[in-house]
């Protein structure tokens, strides 16, 4: 499925494009909320909310980081 055709909001589309660009199509990518917020030009709160919705919609898989390690994200659609 192509991201631009998905019925999701613009913030979620941008996050999917960013994660795709980081290589999250093929393997989980560890990245901090601060890094995503910086790259996307959004607040951490907005990033958290959008990632939660993408996870609930099964569009991303989220691996919990251990200790101080960041969570990892992987795209979950074709």
Tens of pLDDT, residues 8-56: 999 999 999 999 999 999 999 999 999 999 999 999 999 999 999 999 9
Q: Is the pLDDT of residue 1 over 80?
A: no
Closest by CA position to 46, among listed 36, 57, 31, 58: 36
Exposed/middle/buried for residue 32 (C-beta within 10 Å: 0-12, 13-18, 19+): middle
Integer Cα distance of 56 and 2 in angstroms:
19
Which CATH number covers residue 19?
A: 1.10.10.10
How high is the pLDDT of residue 78? Answer: 77
pLDDT at 3: 95
For residue 47, give its domain range.
3-75
- Number of independent structural domains in the chain: 1
Mean pLDDT, residues 51-75 taken together? 96
Contact 62, 71 (CB under 8 A): yes
Write down the pLDDT at residue 13. Answer: 98
């Amino acid at each position: 499925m192509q991201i631009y055709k998905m019925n999701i909001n613009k913030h979620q589309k941008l996050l999917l494009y960013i994660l795709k660009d980081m290589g999250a199509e093929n393997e989980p990518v560890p990245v901090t909320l601060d890094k995503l917020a910086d790259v996307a030009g959004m607040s951490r709160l907005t990033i958290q909310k959008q990632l939660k919705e993408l996870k609930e919609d099964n569009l991303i898989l989220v691996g919990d980081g251990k200790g101080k390690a960041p969570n990892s994200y992987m795209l979950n659609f074709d």
